[in-house]
């Protein structure tokens, strides 16, 4: 699988700007239907998240950020610095309204299952701790499925995020095959395979998409894969840039590919045959030439006036040509 410089992508995305960053920063602080904190009878926060193999509610902890590691199976792969900055300002002003989800692994360190934007924002703000709901006994599959469901509920999971995360899940054998993965993400097998095909794009195209992945729907990305295969990277980049700017969509990409794939009718090369004409002593006096189209030409030099008149008269008779 190709490696993408996500840090470089994020830097470019920040330069391009994102007019939805502030709204998304607020959304990242809100609970989702998947993770709704509540308070139990003792007044402690409880997430209500169900754990495979351990169905108890998580416990609230305030953890030093130095003890928190990123989720190695995180469904989201692309993070934008501008959005981190907006969320950091929100947390400084209002506090961390929504805890993350974490589990404890070897050595007493915590693996963050969900809330990576929040963790980045807290670190940027220089805050020492992060509020999390800790769940023991989470499997590798739990790490992926928690993060995937939370991002999907916010509609913040891009097609490129999916392709990169799904490919890694399969490569690491977290899921044995595409069929098993399709069941987890609740997509058809065809949809999963089509999403994975995004990674067939060349590095320049993946870099471009990574700058603003939300601008590239699955329908356009799958067509860009086909376009690059027949037209090359340079042409595909031109169309990808227009998609990213909202100027064109799937229809225009299909039309471009169709024009390239449809062969232009070539004029058939006409075949000709030439016959040299000789007199009795072997002297060449001209040539008779014919083409497959039916055209015939006679180019001959007849030195004898009588022979020339006889030849002309014979041709006139053959083609019913009268005297002018």
Record the tokens describing residue 68, joined without a space: 């928190």
Per-residue model confidence as pLDDT tens digits over 204-263:
999 999 888 889 999 999 999 999 999 999 999 999 999 999 999 999 999 999 998 887
**Residue 137: beta bridge partners?**
none
Does pTM surpass 0.85? no
* End-to-end Cα distance, the chain: 82
What is the average per-residue pLDDT within 99-114? 89
Nearest partner of 103 among 152, 153, 151, 53, judged by Cα? 53
Mean pLDDT for the chain overall: 79
* 248 vs 96: CA distance, rounded Å: 40
Which domains can be identified in the chain, with CATH numbers? Answer: 6-157 (3.90.1530.10), 273-318 (no CATH)
What is the average per-residue pLDDT within 21-28? 41
| 302 confidence band (pLDDT: 50, 70, 90) | confident
Record the tokens describing residue 159, joined without a space: 């097609």
Give how far the C-alpha of residue 138 lies from the chain's centroid of Cα atoms, to the nearest Å. Answer: 31
pLDDT of 21 > 60? The answer is: no
What is the average per-residue pLDDT within 11-35? 40
Q: Specify the pLDDT at position 319.
A: 82
Per-residue model confidence as pLDDT tens digits over 54-92:
434 689 999 999 999 999 888 888 877 888 888 899 999
pLDDT of 194 > 60? The answer is: yes
Task: Identify each DSSP E strand in the chain by its residue range.
Answer: 38-39, 45-46, 59-64, 68-69, 100-104, 110-114, 129-134, 272-278, 284-291, 296-300
Q: Specify the pLDDT at position 155.
A: 58
Nearest partner of 145 among 173, 184, 177, judged by Cα? 184
pLDDT of 16 > 50? The answer is: no
CB-based contacts of 184, cutoff 8 Å, min separation 6: 141, 144, 145, 148, 175
Q: Which of 24-33, 72-81, 114-123, 126-135 has the lowest mean pLDDT?
A: 24-33
């Amino acid at each position: 699988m190709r490696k993408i410089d996500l840090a470089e992508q994020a830097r470019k995305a920040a330069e391009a700007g994102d007019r939805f960053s502030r709204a998304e920063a607020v959304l990242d602080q809100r609970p989702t239907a998947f993770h709704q904190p509540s308070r139990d009878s003792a007044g402690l926060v409880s997430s209500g998240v169900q754990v495979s193999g351990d169905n108890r509610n998580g416990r609230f902890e305030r953890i030093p950020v130095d003890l928190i590691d990123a989720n190695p199976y995180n469904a989201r792969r692309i993070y934008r610095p501008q959005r981190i900055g907006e969320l950091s300002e929100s947390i400084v002003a209002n506090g961390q309204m929504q805890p993350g989800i974490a589990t404890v692994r070897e050595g007493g360190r915590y693996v963050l299952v969900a809330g990576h934007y929040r963790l980045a924002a807290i670190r940027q703000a220089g805050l020492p701790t992060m509020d999390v709901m800790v769940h023991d006994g989470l499997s590798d599959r739990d790490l992926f499925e928690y993060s995937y469901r939370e991002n999907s509920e916010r509609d913040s999971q891009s097609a490129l995020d999916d392709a990169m995360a799904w490919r890694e899940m399969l490569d690491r054998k977290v899921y044995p095959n595409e069929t098993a993965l399709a069941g987890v993400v609740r997509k058809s097998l065809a949809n999963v395979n089509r999403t994975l095909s995004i990674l067939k794009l060349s590095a320049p195209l993946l870099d471009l998409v990574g700058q603003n992945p939300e601008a590239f729907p699955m329908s356009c990305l799958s067509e860009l894969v086909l376009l690059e295969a027949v037209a090359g990277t340079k042409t595909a980049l031109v169309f990808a840039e227009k998609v990213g700017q909202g100027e064109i969509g799937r229809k225009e990409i299909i039309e471009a590919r169709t024009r390239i794939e449809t062969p232009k009718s070539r004029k058939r090369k006409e075949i000709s045959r030439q016959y040299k004409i000789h007199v009795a002593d072997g002297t060449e006096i001209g040539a008779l030439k014919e083409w497959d189209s039916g055209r015939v030409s006679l180019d001959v030099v007849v030195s004898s006036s009588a022979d020339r008149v006889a030849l002309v008269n014979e041709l006139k008779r053959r083609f019913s040509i009268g005297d002018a």
